[in-house]
Structure 1
Amino acid sequence: MIQASDLTSITNIGPATAKALIGAGVPDVATLRALGAHEAYRALVLAGEKPHFIGYYVLQMALQGRPWNDCRGAEKAALRERFDALIADCRRSALPDDIPHSLAEALDRIGLARR
């Protein structure tokens, strides 16, 4: 059973997000602030949460004490780039070491590399 947490004391973090964060090893506000939104979101994804850009920037806004929909323009574009890089990194790190990380490596492994 998930224990109660002070995570919901932060604007934009409701019970479902708090439960997911606790399940990902982020049990409280102090841990969330120490990790930061980016690394806390990494923990969520690696724990099996489905990646979603809105959830990523809502967490960013929450830790800044801003409304979730306050993210716009260049700031939102920059966060999108960070989100995309984070998700790509999570997907790479989730692959077993013996699985190739590119099509060229895969083709080489089965003997179909370009000559």
Structure 2
Amino acid sequence: MKISEASRISGVSARSLRHYEDEGLIVPGRFSNGFRDYCQSTIDRVLVIRSLLESGLPVRLIREVLPGLTDGSDAGTEVVCAEFLHEVQGYRDRLAARIAVLSDQQAALDAYLREARRTDL
């Protein structure tokens, strides 16, 4: 599929798709006229990339962990350096902390709404 359709299906802008390619995160095929050709496995990979970016993981780390997450191999279980694992753990911990803060905020809003509805009666 062409980039416009890949953008529509994945929910990622064409500009982002080109950026992912520039960063070496995806490698779309090419039509004979030079246009990019995105297959479903590339779209699936884009969805993983987008999720990792939204979690706060930088492109540099995504590039390292992505093969093991998307190719179905055991690449993610290879021996990796302790420093890299420490970085990934740090991002994971920050994500968990953000989730906890958001959960607290959601609970506070729920309590506010319950109280507001009670006073409206």
Q: TM-score range by the shorter chain?
A: 0.3 to 0.5
Which protein is richer in helix relative to its size?
2
RCO comparison, higher one (Cα < 8 Å, 6+): 1
Provide TM-score, normalisation by structure 1. 0.35
Pair member with larger Rg: 2
TM-score by length of 2: 0.34
